[in-house]
Amino acid sequence: MDKKDHLPADSGLSVMGGISSSHDGMASSSRKRFVKKDRTIPVELLTEKIKEKSRLHLAKGITLLESITAADKEAGQKLLLNLLPLSGNSIRIGITGVPGAGKSTFIEEFGLMLCDAGHKVAVLAIDPSSSITGGSILGDKTRMEELARHPNAFIRPSPTAGTLGGVHKKSRETMLLCEAAGFDILLIETVGVGQSETVVRGMVDFFMLLVLTGAGDELQGMKKGIMELADGIIVHKADGDNLRNAKKTVREYRQLLHFLQPASPGWTATSQPVSSIEKTGLEDVWKTVLSFKELMDSGGHWEMRRQSQTKDWFRSMINDRLIDTFFAKPGKKEQVAELEKALLQGNLTVTGAVDRLFG
């Protein structure tokens, strides 16, 4: 088999002849000591394992898609093409909110409720990237320990890697792989620290905004644009002494939402109180999502949104490829550095620098 038809296995997997004979590909500690690791798995075998719902191999497939090496990119696209017919059959839910709103806590309890009901839930938790290593720094698996242990759940922390909107540029492909592996609900958690949520809005079916109580003050600082992206607003931590304030905040958001442009045709966004600690309001949120899907399906808007997402993804990839191609040209990085130096010294305008770069 050609080299391009293989992918790198994770460091914890000892394999012989392409795949371990142990359960789900995991080698015993004794085998790890005596068997030399073959760090490749045939793409066709990986495809079959993902079809068989192996979470281990799903993780390895995502790692392949996130790789920046040429051989891995080619193998990753072959894997994606193999699994593409099995994708698209999920409800994609984007979740954002201000820091401290309790996004991870909500996602864990919401996810557990759905998993216990028989759904298969994949969480793509987009972590802020370390400026030093480029890796995730929040570690969502450690923040969602109970959900991570559930047999119907899969959690994948991914670094933003500087991508606009706090979404890893391979998140869209990761979603397709998760759907091919049988996950019928995808929860996409954004960083929520000021990046453009429009990127996430263009990836999901239902977009959810988590807020805290004190709407009177918060509404003054809430960007109208973010509000108009939301299909639903969750007033979180609606419990204990905070319950009364939470209900008041819900009413204030509902009044405001009537005056905003709806994010989805024919759908009026609503506000709901939720307590992840007391596990109240979670079922109501799910009922809202199902009502949304039913309405969008009946008007043909569900499929139209999916088609629009594919076109936006295509155009976004064109932009990424143009940038990568430009900087891959010999001497371009050095030229940019020289022009930046001239800009900082006041010897050149920004427009003049760009003209020279493309001249």
- pLDDT tens digits for range 53-67: 999 999 999 999 988
Residue-level pLDDT at 30 = 41
- Identify the band that residue 168 occupies on the pLDDT scale cut at 50, 70 and 90: low
DSSP summary character for residue 170: T
* Average pLDDT of the residues of the chain: 81
Report whether pLDDT(330) > 90: yes
Report whether pLDDT(347) > 60: yes
CA pair distance 130, 249, nearest whole angstrom: 35
CA pair distance 257, 343, nearest whole angstrom: 45
Mean pLDDT value across residues 160-176: 69
Report whether pLDDT(127) > 80: no
Give the pairing of strands 40-42 and 6-8: antiparallel
Residue-level pLDDT at 7 = 46
Q: Are 239 and 264 in contact (CB under 8 A)?
A: no
Report whether pLDDT(141) > 60: no
Give the residue extent of every domain in the chain.
3-84, 87-305, 329-358
Report whether pLDDT(354) > 60: yes
Mean pLDDT value across residues 167-195: 83
Give the pairing of strands 121-127 and 153-159: parallel
Report whether pLDDT(217) > 70: no
CA pair distance 260, 257, nearest whole angstrom: 5
Provide, for the chain, the percentages of residues in helix, strand and coil under a 3-state DSSP scheme, each rounded to the nearest 5. 50, 15, 35
Residue bearing tokens 């309001």: 281
One-letter identity of residue 167: V
Q: Are 234 and 128 in contact (CB under 8 A)?
A: no
Residue-level pLDDT at 167 = 61
Strongest mean pLDDT among 19-23, 32-36, 209-213, 223-227:
209-213
H or E, element range at 271: strand 270-273
CA pair distance 23, 66, nearest whole angstrom: 26
Residue-level pLDDT at 317 = 82
Domain 87-305 adopts which CATH fold? Rossmann fold (3.40.50)
Neighbours of 96 (CB within 10 A): 26
